[in-house]
Amino acid sequence: MRKLFGVIIAIIFASSIFLTPVSAAQNTPPTLEGGVLWYTFKGSTFSYKFQVTYNDAEGDLPVYMFVYINGSRRIMEKQDVTDNNAKDGIVYILALSDEDLFKLAPNAREWEIEYWFRTNDGHGPVSTKNSNLFALDYVAMGLTPSNTAGASSCSKASS
């Protein structure tokens, strides 16, 4: 009986050693693309939207999607709650009023803010590099960048 038990334990141990690297090698980590902090304004009132696109080659949905704002973690939500196709990309957002953002990042008034995005596809975490860029959300404001006489062209922003 002891020999049988020892053989079973040896088989389980050997299979866990040999099968784990194979299953881990089959997963491609997800990518987080287009991470940005959009801003809009009306008069002197600003609003903000953190946005990132989650892509996963195997179609694995994220276990979580966070944005870290000056070290403070916030949960992001899908822009389109019905979008479950991670292979072609799922857009995640977190909208904040200026008051909410200033609570998290008091120096945001001086455009001093640091943020990054983090996710996990169930096989391990993935994070973006830190950023401190803001971008005007032309689309949300109903604007279209255009050329004027003698002016250089503007790059098109999308949300």
From first to last of its 159 residues, what are the pLDDT tens digits of the chain? 677 666 677 677 666 666 555 444 588 999 999 999 999 988 888 889 999 999 999 999 999 999 999 989 999 999 999 999 999 999 999 999 988 988 888 777 677 889 999 999 999 999 999 998 888 888 888 887 764 444 443 433 444
Q: The dihedral of CA 124, 129, 134, 140: what is its sign?
A: negative
Pairing of strands 45-55, 31-42: antiparallel
Task: Let me know if residue 53 belongs to a domain.
Answer: yes
How many distinct structural domains can be found in the chain? 1
Residues spanned by the domain of 70: 31-136
Amino acid at 72: S
Task: Let me know if residue 84 belongs to a domain.
Answer: yes
CA-derived radius of gyration, the chain? 22
Task: Let me know if residue 155 belongs to a domain.
Answer: no
Provide the CATH number for the domain around residue 68: 2.60.40
Task: Let me know if residue 148 belongs to a domain.
Answer: no
H-type alpha helices, 61-155: 98-104
Task: Let me know if residue 8 belongs to a domain.
Answer: no
